[in-house]
């Protein structure tokens, strides 16, 4: 009996603790969602109350209507942008990773090419996009190159830092074990760089979408970027807003994919 | 003709630029013994271990391990090194970390000495049975250091170099690991060179204490510790133990 008596307050306490944790979790979701819903309602009420013309600012209900009515157009323009962003993501990051490996391997390569990489990075993407469209034509290639270019620099810098983040003692250990340069790279440097690489890939996941859309602005008849230009010029604001939400949805999708991969790969 | 010394330094010096880290150091490390190295900061304790383990070259003089050059000894995996922090690869499990020395170096034609204990048995020897798949961040500081010791033993080294391996651990863990290390030493018959900055640890572990002096780093004295084997924790309260400690403290002050 005595044992039970001393146990029950503990159990009560644990139950209360669990309930408090559950409440905190609900609150942490409810607050941001509630705020977003409230802002959308405010937007709807404002547009209706002040009788703002639809072409200046559509009400959320108009945007939702466009989503439903123009879903085929939106989807049709979604795929090219997804493909361009993904291709640019892979090309740009692959190039950055390989060049970072070259930099870490040889100081001379770094001395030769790093200033050029910095220079390219200082050119605004909007300024270089027309040049690339002129070079590569109005097809897919130019958009992939623009998306790749925008991913390239953050990944290069992070990857170099990651490959150099190995502790001096780990390198001493490698030397005592008479490890070859290749072994040091595959078994120590490359895994050490992964957390740095993934923080760069998170950035690239969203910027590659920006690159693809900017590329489509300059010259394309298909893609979310082209649809944005098109609906702007036609004063089709509900479709414009729906396209913008679609673009941001694409970024969120790519970001989530990277974050999920990171969680699976990096367990330390 | 007797067996070659585990390590032999003959008038060895180490210089970094114009700075002399170790000056004219001569020392013979008897095979199978437990040596502790003690000295004030800047006496080149760690430098001496790095000299012996072929991490830094001697500016002059000679260093040999079991009669071989340090490079030949490194390629033959005659010695292993335990660092002050465990230096585990954080993405590898405890077991995978212990297996690392068996995976690297083969391309250079190194014939890996096969220890008589598997990595799994070594983890058991250091008291980590059941934690084979734990990642380093899931282990305590003491456990991580025990993984590092198991990794050092995997190629059955004849000489074990330890650079303040327990320096960052709390007193209780340190006592425990000291006893465990002595057991491993008795059982494997390896030679141990153990750098420490704790007088008590130096006396407790060492059969001989190598006292170095600073600026420049040089040999001060080698003191035999004639305490009965096996050493036990209560031995640290005996008058004999205290006498050794007092003697070393006195020496340390004049280094």
Q: Is residue B210 part of a domain?
A: yes
Whether residue A141 sits in one domain with residue A65: yes
Count Cβ–Cβ pairs < 8 Å, chain A vs chain B.
64
Contact call for residues B121 and B203 (beta carbons, < 8 A) = no
Q: What residues in A contact B89, CB-CB < 8 Å?
A: 170, 187-188, 191
Does residue B123 lie within any of the structural domains?
no
User: Do residue A3 and residue A76 come from a single domain?
Assistant: no
Inter-residue contact B181 to B205 (CB < 8 Å): yes
Same domain, A33 and A118: no
pLDDT tens, position by position, A126-178: 999 999 989 998 889 999 999 999 999 999 999 999 999 999 999 999 999 99
> For A182-211, how does the pLDDT look when each residue is reduced to its tens digit (9 = 90+)?
999 999 999 999 999 999 999 999 999 999
Distance CA B246, CA B153 (A): 34
Residues in chain B with CB shorter than 8 Å from the CB of A268 are 90-91, 135-137
The CATH number for A238's domain is: 1.10.3720.10
Q: Which of A15, A31, A51 is the last residue of a domain?
A: A51
The rounded distance, in Å, linking the Cα atoms of B62 and B13 is 9
Best mutation site among A165, A166, A178 for testing chain B: the one with the most B CBs within 10 Å? A178
Q: Does B105 touch chain A (CB under 8 A)?
A: yes
Tell me if chain A has a CB within 8 Å of the CB of B137.
yes
Per-residue pLDDT of chain B (255 residues; tens, 9 = 90+): 466 889 999 999 999 988 989 999 999 999 999 999 999 888 889 999 999 999 999 999 999 999 999 999 999 899 999 999 999 999 999 999 999 999 988 766 666 776 678 999 999 989 999 999 999 999 999 999 999 999 999 989 999 999 999 988 899 889 999 999 999 999 999 999 999 999 999 999 999 999 998 888 889 899 999 998 889 998 989 999 999 999 999 998 887
Retrieve residue A44's tokens: 């709807």
Based on C-alpha coordinates, what's the Rg of chain B? Answer: 18
A-chain residue closest to B73, CA distance:
A176
Interface with chain A: mutation pick from B55, B77, B104, highest number of A CBs within 10 Å: B104
- Whether A268 sits inside 8 A of B136 (CB atoms) is yes
Say yes or no: A151 and A239 in one domain: yes
In this structure, is residue B180 part of a structural domain? no
Separation in Å, CA of B91 to nearest CA in chain A: 6
Contact B89 A267 (CB under 8 A): no
Residues A44 and A106 in one domain: no
Q: Which domain holds residue A93?
A: 60-265
Q: Is the bond leading into B230 cis (omega within 30 degrees of zero)? A: yes
Q: How far is A177 from chain B (nearest CA, A)?
A: 6
State the CATH number of the domain containing residue B203.
3.40.50.300
Contact A250, A209 (CB under 8 A): yes
Task: Tell if the CB–CB gap between B105 and A180 is shorter than 8 Å.
Answer: yes
Q: Please tell me whether residues A16 and A98 are part of one structural domain.
A: no
pTM for the model stands at: 0.84
Instruction: Check whether residue A11 and residue A77 sit in a common domain.
Output: no
Residue B221 lies in domain: 1-32+42-78+197-255
Last residue of a domain, one of A51, A73, A89: A51
Task: Pull the structure tokens for residue B207.
Answer: 């059969």
A21: its two tokens: 């944790």
Min CA distance, A97 vs chain B (Å)? 20
Q: A51, A69, A89: which is the final residue of a domain?
A: A51
DSSP string of chain A? -HHHHHHHHHHHHHHHHHHHHHHHHHHHHHHHHHHHHHHHHHHHHHHHHTT--TTTS--HHHHHHHHHHTHHHHHHHHHHHHHHHHHHHHHHHHHHHHHHHHHHH-HHHHHHHHHHHHHHHHS-HHHHHHHHHHHH-SSHHHHHHHHHHHHHHHHHHHHHHHHT---HHHHHHHHHTT--HHHHIIIIIHHHHHHHHHHHHHHHHHHHHHHHHHHHHHS-SSSHHHHHHHHHHTT-HHHHHHHHHHHHHHHHHHHHHHHHHHHHH---
Residues A20 and A141 in one domain: no
Residues A29 and A144 reside in one and the same domain:
no
Question: Is the preceding omega at residue A164 within 30 degrees of 0, hence cis?
Answer: no
Domain count for chain B:
1
Closest-CA residue in chain B for A172?
B55
Q: Are B214 and B42 in contact (CB under 8 A)?
A: yes
Q: Tell which A residues from 128 to 187 touch B, by Cβ distance under 8 Å.
A: 167, 169-170, 172-180, 182-183, 187
Task: Give pLDDT tens digits for A71-104.
Answer: 999 999 999 999 999 999 999 999 999 999 999 9
A178 vs B83: CB contact, 8 Å cut-off? no
How many domains does chain A contain in total? 2
Q: A245 and A170 share a domain?
A: yes
Q: Which three-class secondary structure state does DSSP give residue B126?
A: coil
Phi-psi category of residue B61: left, alpha or beta, with phi > 0 → left and psi -120 to 50 → alpha: left
Cα A193 from chain centroid (whole Å): 19
Residue B129 inside a domain? The answer is no
Same-domain status, A192 and A140: yes
Q: Is B168 on the interface with A (CB under 8 A)?
A: no
Same domain membership, residue A110 and residue A27: no
pLDDT exceeds 80 at position A2: no
ipTM for this model: 0.91
């Amino acid at each position: 009996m005595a044992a039970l008596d001393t146990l029950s307050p503990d159990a009560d306490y644990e139950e209360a603790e669990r309930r408090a944790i559950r409440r905190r979790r609900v609150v942490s979701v409810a607050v941001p969602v509630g705020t977003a819903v409230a802002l959308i309602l405010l937007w709807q009420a404002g547009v209706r109350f002040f009788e703002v013309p639809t072409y200046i600012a559509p009400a959320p209900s108009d945007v939702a209507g466009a989503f439903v009515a123009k879903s085929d157009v939106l989807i049709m323009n979604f795929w090219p942008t997804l493909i361009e962003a993904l291709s640019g993501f892979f090309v740009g990051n692959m190039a950055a990773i390989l060049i970072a490996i070259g930099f870490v391997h040889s100081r001379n390569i770094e001395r030769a090419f790093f200033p050029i990489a910095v220079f390219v990075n200082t050119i605004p993407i909007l300024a270089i996009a027309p040049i690339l469209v002129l070079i590569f034509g109005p097809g897919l290639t130019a958009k992939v190159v623009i998306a790749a270019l925008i991913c390239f620099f953050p990944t290069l810098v992070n990857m170099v830092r990651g490959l150099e983040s190995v502790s001096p003692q780990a390198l001493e250990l490698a030397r005592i074990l008479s490890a070859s340069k290749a072994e040091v790279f595959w078994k120590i440097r490359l895994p050490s760089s992964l957390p740095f690489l993934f923080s760069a890939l998170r950035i690239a996941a969203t910027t590659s979408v920006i690159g693809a859309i900017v590329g489509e602005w300059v010259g394309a008849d298909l893609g979310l970027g082209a649809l944005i230009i098109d609906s702007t010029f036609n004063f089709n604001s509900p479709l414009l807003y729906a396209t913008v939400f679609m673009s941001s949805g694409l970024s969120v999708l790519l970001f989530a994919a990277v974050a999920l991969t990171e969680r699976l790969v990096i367990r330390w | 003709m007797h067996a070659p010394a585990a390590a032999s330094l003959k008038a060895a010096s180490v210089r970094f630029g114009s700075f002399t880290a170790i000056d004219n150091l001569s020392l013979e490390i008897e095979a199978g013994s437990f040596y502790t190295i003690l000295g004030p900061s800047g006496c080149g304790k760690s430098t001496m271990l790095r000299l012996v383990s072929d991490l830094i070259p001697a500016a002059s003089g000679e260093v040999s391990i079991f009669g071989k050059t340090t490079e030949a000894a490194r390629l033959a995996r005659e010695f292993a090194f335990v660092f002050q922090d465990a230096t585990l690869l954080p993405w590898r499990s405890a077991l995978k970390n212990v297996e690392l020395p068996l995976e690297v170096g083969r391309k250079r034609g190194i014939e890996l000495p096969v220890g008589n204990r598997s990595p799994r048995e070594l983890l058991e020897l250091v008291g980590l049975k059941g934690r084979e798949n734990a990642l380093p961040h899931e282990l305590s500081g003491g456990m991580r250091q025990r993984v590092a010791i198991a990794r050092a033993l995997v190629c059955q080294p004849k000489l074990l170099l330890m650079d303040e391996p327990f320096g960052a651990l709390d007193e209780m863990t340190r006592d425990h690991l000291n006893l465990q290390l002595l057991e491993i030493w008795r059982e494997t018959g390896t030679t141990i060179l153990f750098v420490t900055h704790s007088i008590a640890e130096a006396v407790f572990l060492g059969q001989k204490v190598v006292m170095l002096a600073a600026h420049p780093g040089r040999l001060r004295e080698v003191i035999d510790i004639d305490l009965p084997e096996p050493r036990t924790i209560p031995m640290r309260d005996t008058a004999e133990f205290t006498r050794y400690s007092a003697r070393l403290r006195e020496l340390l002050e004049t280094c």
